[in-house]
Amino acid sequence: DRPEPPRALRLSGASGTSLSLAWSPGFDGGLPQHFLLRAEGPDAPPPHAALVTSGFALTLGGLRPATPYDVTVRARNARGDSAPARLRATTS
């Protein structure tokens, strides 16, 4: 089955150009999963940052200072994507 959304998405640190995030995985649907992170800011140049990881923490770099970002994390396995976990965070 498709994986469940990541749980407990939280900001673990912020700088002028980065946001550090951590989360707990949901049920993986019985298949290997990885996570797709996306950060969208109102003044961020396209394409929006998108990274994939198999871990449960990641730092998104290359962001603009003092900018709010809408961050989403989705779990993905061979059957599809989960619903997103969402967080709004601002670089310092």
More confidently predicted of 32 and 50: 32
The class that CATH gives domain 7-90 is: mainly beta
Global confidence as pTM: 0.89
Q: Cα(63)–Cα(86) distance, rounded to whole angstroms? A: 18
Q: What is the mean pLDDT of the chain?
A: 92
Segment 43-72, tens digit of pLDDT: 666 556 678 889 999 999 888 899 999 999
Buried b (16+ CB within 10 A) or exposed e, 27-58: ebbeeebebbbbbebeebeeeebeeeeeeeeb
Q: Cα(6)–Cα(75) distance, rounded to whole angstroms? A: 6
